[in-house]
Amino acid sequence: MGTCRNPESSFRHTLQPSPQEGSWSTWTHPSVQSIFQKRTTKSLPPWTEAFSLVSEFFSHEHQAFSCFHPPAFMALLGQQYSGSPPESPAWWASLNAVLAIAQRRRVEKAQEPSADEDLAWCYAANALGTTLDVLMRNTQLLSVQALLSIAWFFIGTPNPQPAFMLIGSALRLAHSIGLHMTNYDSSWGAIEYGMRRRVFWIATSLDRELCLRTGRPPAHDLHDFHVDAPSDPLDDSEMITTTAGSRLNLFQAQVQLAVVQGCIYRLLHSSEPSATDTGRITDSVARLNQQLDEWWAKFAPVFHPAQALQDLEHHGLLRSYYSYYNCVIVVNRAHGRQYWTPLNHPATPVDLSTGVRASIQRCLKAARSIVALNHAIPRKWKSFYW
């Protein structure tokens, strides 16, 4: 693969606005130029520390959030410390977001709480310092990656609101550069073409996950525009090995679950007839349970929550556990619309159908599994607690 030998040139292409974007993508009135000046809360760490943090990100976080092409990112990191750093605000935001994520993970892995946690927030502040510039004047692939990486940091905080806004903005920015389209530009190399599809699906997966947890509508409907997800991993660094010794591509698991999550919203939460007609809810629940069962069957050889209680699995795998069980509960509690009545209501049902009883059992099993996972995750893993 000749394109892999020069990742910098392939990735650097994404730092330049494409011709179809036109000059409007960088236009601003002189009166607001000052707000786009880069604000630095914390200077970048020395080269050895930066290299260590970025390497830790790609050796661990990357499996759950494969938003960047590792060789290309490392090439830009070298350029950053070569004396002629890239001028792109999107690169500055991406680098600082990666440093913040890696620094937080390092603190979580430490035996004792450390003041270095504040350092992660300083890097996050650096990334946020260019967010407005990225949103308003940088319509490129790296801009979408920058917003998603900042959002990934905030997903692991008590306040997920910034993540909602950043992911929604990332999807809108993705639309502006055509990530939701299936067309192919001859100027793209194989790496960039694959990354465009991958970044789109990461944004969609995160959007579906957060929206399903809160009942908010997604920013992109796959039924309007559908892009096939990459079927092959970037490289072996994207794969994880479970405590049972199995190999798993978390990206594929997340993508396939996102498709199911989209169906859940459309069939149970939207204004479509199937989501409001009680006569259709039973059919929708059965259909969605089948999709969840198929997803589970495909990944069952490596998804064993009981094992997580003995040895800590990859944090991305644990998040997938939570996502799956949340889907099970959201789907099966839909029957409650038919059977939830006041306790003193004379028509409180006592005879439940077989399907409803099965849904109750599914909900109970999923809830108990979530409780078991809560006991398995150390309290110092703050990125798991809202």
Nearest to 103 by CA among 122, 85, 87, 84: 122
The H or E element containing residue 283 is helix 278-299
pLDDT computed for residue 321 by the predictor = 86
**Digits of tens for pLDDT over the chain (386 positions)?**
333 333 344 444 444 434 344 455 566 656 565 566 677 778 899 999 999 999 999 998 898 899 999 999 999 999 999 988 888 899 999 999 999 999 999 988 875 556 688 899 999 999 999 998 898 877 789 999 999 999 999 988 888 789 999 999 999 999 888 888 777 666 777 788 888 889 999 999 999 998 888 878 888 876 676 677 776 666 676 778 777 777 888 888 899 999 999 889 888 887 665 555 666 888 889 999 999 999 988 876 555 555 555 566 788 888 888 899 999 999 998 877 555 545 555 555 556 677 788 888 999 999 998 888 888 787 777 777 65
Secondary structure class of 248 (helix, strand, coil): strand
Q: Are 313 and 242 in contact (CB under 8 A)?
A: yes
CA distance 72 to 86: 13
Indicate the pTM of the whole model: 0.84
The strand pairing partners of 239, in sequence order, are 249
pLDDT of residue 349: 53
Amino acid letter for position 315: H
Q: What is the pLDDT of residue 10?
A: 41
**pLDDT value of residue 135:** 87
Q: How many CB atoms lie within 10 A of CB 1?
A: 7
Assign 3-state DSSP to the chain and report helix, strand, coil percentages, each to 5.
65, 0, 30
CB 243 within 8 A of CB 249: no
Per-residue pLDDT at 148: 96
In terms of Cβ atoms closer than 10 Å to its own Cβ (0-12, 13-18, 19+), residue 147 is buried
**Residue boundaries of the structural domains of the chain:** 39-214, 242-341+351-384
327, 329, 331, 335 alpha-carbon torsion, rounded to 10°: -170
The dihedral formed by the CA atoms of 288, 290, 292 and 295, expressed in degrees to the nearest 10? -140
Q: Using only the alpha carbons of the chain, give its radius of gyration.
A: 22
Angle between helices 315-332 and 354-376 in degrees, nearest 10: 160
How far is 289 from 183, CA to CA, in rounded Å? 34
Give the per-residue pLDDT at 338.
57
CA distance linking residue 191 with residue 193, whole number of Å: 6
What is the pLDDT, as a whole number, of residue 8? Answer: 40
Per-residue model confidence (pLDDT) at position 279: 67
Q: What is the spatial distance between Cα 218 and Cα 375, in angstroms, rounded to a whole number? A: 31
C-alpha distance from residue 83 to each of 79, 87, 111 (Å):
7, 12, 37
